[in-house]
Amino acid sequence: MKRKKKQSNPHVTFMLIPHNAARPLQWKLSRKAFPGLAIGVALFVMGFAAISFLFYSSQEDIRHVNRIKQDSQEKQKTIELLKQEIEKIEEQQDAIAKKQNQLKRIMGIKSENAPVPEPSRGGKGGIDRQIQSFGDAGVLQQAEELRTQLARQEKELDELLAQANDNTEYFRHLPNQWPVQGDITSDFGWRKSPFGGRGSTFHDGIDIANDSGTPVVAAADGTVTFAGWKGAYGRLVEIDHSYGYVTKYGHNSALLVDVGDKVKKGEEIARVGNTGRSTGPHLHFMVVKDDEAYDPLVYLP
């Protein structure tokens, strides 16, 4: 007697049994539908992956756009600072022109016989560079160098005027005495901060390194207008020399003068120290003319 072949079931049943006593859920699926189901699942996974990739790419694009916006804002700030520096340069040019005319009148020089030479620009390309080339503090440094050149010319004109008028008092009040001997460890102008951090910072004087306790002398005749603690400068002395000049001496370990004291050029006023925001013993020396800080090396021999 022949045994009947057992027929295979062409369907597969899936069951979902809830935790409660509810009736189980059943799905019957034909075996022939498996390849189509597999393809569908594969397409779903690929579609999900593609959507995830596009989402991540769009987020990266957004971050890139935000970085561009931030860079643009920083460049705009740099441009605004440059405009302010250029305005100061133009004011200096006007002041120099007035002094030149004054000197001509004193010496009897007629303008048509002695044309005024162009002031030195300190190199080519400074303020004529395109805005899109602004990327760091280099442009501001160039503008500051222009102001330094103009300050040097203005100082020379002041000396000529004083000589023409036989004004020896002016030279006694001109801050051209080195306040202390030593190495210049940081110049005037834009620099990388010695305290870390990104970008450039503006240094409003020069740093002259020497041992703690080394005498500090006045750069010119004048009157002490401040002697005490002043934030990051530590123990600070300020001297008003008249003619618009003020000098400042910071980070001292000791002060030898008081407010109101009259000092002479070369007179001891303090001792080198490491007070305030400082990385080692040195003197922070500033020269201010008409409320603007200038490179002290313009005036020092």
Q: Out of 11-25, 33-47, 100-114, 192-206, give the one with best mean pLDDT.
A: 33-47
Is 289 a domain residue? Answer: yes
If DSSP codes are grouped into helix, strand and coil, which group holds residue 124? Answer: coil
Structural domain including 276 reads 179-301
Q: Residue 290 falls within a domain, yes or no? A: yes
3-state secondary structure of 258: coil
Residue 14 lies in a domain: no
When pLDDT is averaged across residues 12-40 and rounded to a whole number, the result is: 69
Biggest alpha carbon–alpha carbon distance for the chain: 146
The whole-number pLDDT of residue 116 equals 40
Residue 80 domain flag: no
77-99 per-residue burial string, b: 16 or more CB within 10 A, e: under 16: ebeeebeebeebbeebeeebeeb
The residue behind tokens 């987020």 is 59
CA 270 to CA 199: how far, in whole Å?
A: 33
Q: In the structure encoding, which two tokens stand for residue 132, read together?
A: 């899109």
Give the pair of three-digit tokens for residue 61.
């694009």
Quickly count: other Cβ atoms within 10 Å of residue 168's Cβ: 9
Rounded Cα distance between 53 and 47, Å, is 10
Is residue 291 predicted with pLDDT exceeding 60? yes
Residues 208-261 have pLDDT tens digits of 999 999 999 999 999 999 999 998 899 999 999 999 999 999 999 999 999 999
Nearest 5°: phi and psi at 295? -65, 120
| Residue 130 is assigned to a structural domain of this protein | no
How confident is the model at residue 117, as a pLDDT? 41
pLDDT band with cut points at 50, 70 and 90 for residue 70: confident
Residue 244, in any domain of the structure: yes
User: Three-state DSSP class for 184?
Assistant: strand
Best-predicted range by mean pLDDT (15-19, 133-137, 167-171): 167-171
pLDDT in tens, 187-214: 887 766 655 555 667 778 899 999 999 9
Higher pLDDT, 69 or 194: 69
CATH number, domain with residue 242: 2.70.70.10
Rounded (10°) angle between helices 34-107 and 138-164: 10
pLDDT band at 11 (very low <50, low <70, confident <90, very high): low
CA–CA distance, 159 with 204 (Å, rounded to integer): 24
Of 266, 270, 199, 265, the C-alpha closest to 233 is 270
Whether 297 maps to a domain, the answer reads: yes
Find the mean pLDDT for residues 128-150: 59
Highest-scoring range by mean pLDDT, 33-37, 174-178, 256-260: 256-260
Taking residue 155's Cβ as centre, other Cβ atoms within 10 Å add up to 16
| 6-20, 133-147, 255-269 — most confident range | 255-269
Query: In this model, does residue 274 exceed pLDDT 60?
Result: yes
Q: What is the pLDDT of residue 32?
A: 67
pLDDT band at 268 (very low <50, low <70, confident <90, very high): very high
- In total, how many domains does the chain have? 1
Q: Could you tell me if residue 288 is inside a domain?
A: yes
Measuring CA to CA, which residue among 103, 226, 243, 250 is closest to residue 172? Answer: 243
- Please report, as a single letter, which amino acid is at residue 194: P
Number of alpha carbons in the 13 Å side-chain half-sphere of residue 284: 24
